Amino acid sequence: MPVQFGFLLIALSLLAVPQGWAVGQVGSTPDAQQPAPTEKGTSSAQSQPGPPVAAQYTLTPEKRARAVAYSRARYILYFAGVVVSVAIYWLLWRSKLAALFRDWARKGSRRHFVQCLIFVPLFLAAVALLEFPLAYYSGFVVERRFDLSTQGFASWLGDWGKSFALTALLGIVLVWIFYWIVRRSPRRWWLYVWMISIPVVLVLILMEPYAVEPLFFRFTPLERNQAALTERVQEMLARARLKIPRTHILEMNASTKTRTLNAYVSGLGASKRVVVWDTALKKLEKDETLLLLGHEIGHYVLRHIPKGFVLWEMLFLVLSYLGFVAVDRIVERAGARTHVEGVGDLASFPVVLLVLTVLVFCASPLINGFSRYYERQADQFGLELAYGVVADPNAADVRGLQILGEEDLADPEPNPVIKFWLYSHPPLNERIRFAAGYKPWAEGKPLQLVRPKE
């Protein structure tokens, strides 16, 4: 599960993170994969242990060189994206273009909401156009160069347009709320913005599986093509004491856009669901798929989504206050020269985004540190949950993670600084070593995270 997705939603709800640049995406290596799907292993009794596997991530020299080159490109593009975004916000502020958009909005109406209806699309369109070259190179050119994308330019551009439209629609409402709060409480707006972010983000998390995901991919019940696998997933869910309807265990047609492998969880309450990409199903044996999904089940049972939400909100309270102090001082010192009349002026919006982008960037090591901890817990939970359902969960997990690295071109030896700043998951080699060595059942020790049947 990409725990950082919840953080992205929160940052997006404040329009602090530019399109396509999620903090912590680099090195986000979900779970287990293995080639040649077959129908063997359709029950725990039928599962057979696989051959011995090496407890480390190994690549051929050619594959290793490609993985290192791809990873370095992603690292550079991530940091370049932050710099470019900050530069764009600074340019729109200092060039008085944001003030010009504000003036046009005022001419259109005296009503604050209508002004936002005019200002926000104009501003975001300017940002999107300036960012487009880097977004195109990062999201299309690089992925095609390393043979990870199956998406044509028209399809990629369509997704880019959908993302922009969603951001604009959400931005109109959130900018309207933000400036309504700022104008009514110039000294405490940071606190009220933080308070309103709680219900806003909860609504976004609940709606995202139904309102956003289907715009980009098609989802079908896993049991439609994988009935035997679904039965074994249900067996694992019963062991985990987790109730997720069969209709919410889904397959996503990721192969229409990518060759990479993944699975994730999304939603809360009635909207929660487990999704496995069809690319993973094509590369996985059934046992490896169960380890993959066991990891995802762990995120629900261990309550990582609500815990991550609470942790982020605590952090965001601090960031809100720091943002208030910084924005207030910047606007006060340079407002007259840039035609910004105060923090409550729509023309201050690029300053707000600039400050929040820097703050979220600086906070990313802390965010990703928590995420890595949760991902390690989910790895442990998946192994414990698969014990008794999969003949050899350690070997299955190791084989799967190895294939994940090969298919996704995971960095075999990330720099410690890169890991600290960007990795939302432990590096793949660490995960493989843990998957190979964690077997309390072989040592007569009790399971730590999965409760035994009563």
CA-closest candidate to residue 348, choices 327, 324, 377, 318: 327
The pLDDT score that the predictor gives to residue 451 is: 79
The pLDDT score that the predictor gives to residue 143 is: 97
User: Where exactly are the structural domains of the chain?
Assistant: 4-443
Between residues 159 and 210, the one the model is more confident about: 159
What does the alpha-carbon distance between residue 2 and residue 7 come to, in Å, rounded to a whole number? Answer: 10
Percent share of the chain, pLDDT over 90? 70
Q: Which phi-psi region, left, alpha or beta, contains residue 22 (left: φ > 0; alpha: ψ -120 to 50)?
A: beta
pLDDT band at 9 (very low <50, low <70, confident <90, very high): very low
Between residues 9 and 288, the one the model is more confident about: 288
pLDDT for residue 8 is more than 90: no
CA-closest candidate to residue 232, choices 428, 60, 41, 76: 41
Residues in the chain: 454
pLDDT for residue 304 is more than 50: yes
Q: What is the dihedral of CA 437, 441, 447, 451, to 10 degrees?
A: 140
Neighbour order of strands in the sheet with 263-266: 219-221, 249-252, 273-277, 263-266
The pLDDT score that the predictor gives to residue 43 is: 39
CA-closest candidate to residue 7, choices 243, 427, 356, 438: 356
Average pLDDT (33-60) is 52
The pLDDT score that the predictor gives to residue 453 is: 63
pLDDT for residue 76 is more than 60: yes
Taking a C-beta distance cutoff of 8 angstroms, is the pair 372, 423 a contact?
A: yes
The pLDDT score that the predictor gives to residue 265 is: 80
Average pLDDT (128-152) is 97
Each residue's pLDDT tens digit, 328-373: 999 998 877 889 999 999 999 999 999 999 999 999 999 999 999 9
Read off the tokens for 262.
């993944």
Pairing of strands 263-266, 249-252: unpaired
The pLDDT score that the predictor gives to residue 454 is: 55
Read off the tokens for 40.
């063997």
- Amino acid of residue 202: L
pLDDT band at 233 (very low <50, low <70, confident <90, very high): confident
pLDDT for residue 26 is more than 90: no
pLDDT band at 53 (very low <50, low <70, confident <90, very high): low
Average pLDDT, the chain: 87
Each residue's pLDDT tens digit, 150-209: 999 999 999 999 999 999 999 999 999 999 999 999 999 999 999 999 999 888 888 888
